[in-house]
Amino acid sequence: MRAKTKWLQNFAAFAIFAAVIVYVLLCTTDNPRYHLILDEKTMLLEALWTTLYISMISLVLCMVSGFLFYLMLKSRVQFIRAAAVIFREIIMGTPMLVMVFLMVYVFGNMLGISNKLVLGIAAMTFYTMPYVANSYESAAAVIDQDQYVVMNLYHFTGVQRYLYIIFPQMVKPMLPALINHLSGIIKGTALLKIVSVPEISYVLTVISSKNWASVEGYLVMWMMYLMITIPLSVLAQYIGRRLENGN
């Protein structure tokens, strides 16, 4: 009975939001013309694919660079630690839009790189890297001092420490955070439209401008992002719960 009540309450909450979304989709304009947008299926699917692979590549790069950045934050050398902290503060205080601009028009020009997709991925990676490093830091905090004492006693090398003791214990607390970072990167790719990377946001702006259907364009964009991010969020929560239960 309790489970049934819980299910009913969940369904009621879902139904309310679904109704609000349907209302917004149908009533925001007098005569919504979604077919003008949805007819461009090929372009939309390509944009979806572009968004996903930019996000996945950025996440992988973030995991690697975020780990190196985490090691810099933990360095014994004061200069490296200070440099990492200053870099983190600068990046965390910079809006993503400005980061994309800086990467494409400043650092891209400086380094002679003109491929906007590459620069876009670099912008996403740099922007997310300090947050991923913070996640590594929180995850590493689960390893108590006693374990380091044992590793010191048996003279584990740096690689052995991470490979056999630290990384395996970091996976649990890191997984939900990483999925949330992926979700953040996916939403962040919308800003790459300012440098004409053909991801969801850019392609929908092009299609909707061509058809004079900007409201419908934004609403479809909203739905497309939700279609990706909600399953990811549910997955993060599911994994979090499974890991908490020790499975």
Partner 1 sequence: MEIKLEHVSKYYDRKILDELSLELKDIHALGIIGESGCGKSTLLRLLAGMEKPEKGKIWINGTLLHGKSIKEYQKEIGYVFQKHNLFPHLSVKENIVLILNKIKKMSRADAEKRAEDMLKKVRMEAEMDKKPDAVSGGQAQRASIARALATDPQLVFLDEPTAALDPILTAEVLRVIQELKDSGKEFIFVTHELKFLKNFADYILFMDKGKIVEKGSVDCLNDPQTELLKKFVEGEKL
Among 48, 91, 113, 165, binds partner 1 (CB under 8 A): 165
Q: Is 134 in the site for partner 1 (CB under 8 A)?
A: no
State the distance between the two ends of the chain, measured CA to CA, in whole angstroms: 27
Sole binder of partner 1 in the list 164, 209, 215, 230 (CB under 8 A): 164
| Residue 51 CA: distances (Å) to CA of 48, 118, 120, 170 | 5, 13, 11, 28
If one counts every other C-beta atom within 10 angstroms of the C-beta of residue 233, the result is 15
Q: Which two tokens stand for residue 192?
A: 């790459």
Residue (of 147, 158, 144) closest to 67 by Cα position: 158
Does 149 bind partner 1 (CB under 8 A)? Our answer is yes
Q: Of the two residues 62 and 175, which places its CB atom closer to partner 1 in the complex?
A: 175
Binding residue (CB under 8 A) for partner 1 from 9, 28, 152, 209: 152
Give the relative orientation of helices 41-73 and 78-92 as an angle to the nearest 10 degrees. Answer: 150
In the chain, the amino acid numbered 51 is T
Contact (Cβ atoms closer than 8 angstroms) between residue 224 and residue 48? yes
CB 106 within 8 A of CB 119: no
Q: Which is nearer to partner 1, 95 or 158 (CB)?
A: 158
Contact 204, 217 (CB under 8 A): yes
User: What is d(CA 234, CA 229) in angstroms, rounded to the nearest whole number?
Assistant: 9
Least Cβ distance, residue 150 to partner 1 (angstroms): 5
Q: 156, 177, 217, 236: which one contacts partner 1 (CB under 8 A)?
A: 156
Residue whose token pair is 């839009």: 97
Residue 155 near partner 1 by CB under 8 A: yes
Q: Shortest gap between Cβ of 176 and partner 1 (angstroms)?
A: 17
Q: How many residues bind partner 1 (CB under 8 A)?
A: 14
146 in contact with partner 1 (CB under 8 A): yes
97 vs 150, which CB is nearer to partner 1? 150
C-beta closer to partner 1: residue 110 or 149: 149
The yes or no reply on residue 17 touching partner 1 (CB under 8 A) is: no
Our finding on whether 2 is near partner 1 (CB under 8 A) is no
Q: Judged by CB under 8 A, does residue 150 bind partner 1? A: yes
Q: Is 168 in the site for partner 1 (CB under 8 A)?
A: yes
C-alpha separations of 235 from 209, 223, 239, 246 in Å: 35, 18, 6, 16
Stretch that binds partner 1, among 10-18, 125-133, 145-153, 219-227 (CB under 8 A): 145-153
Q: Using CB under 8 A, list all residues that contact partner 1.
A: 146-147, 149-150, 152-156, 160, 164-165, 168-169
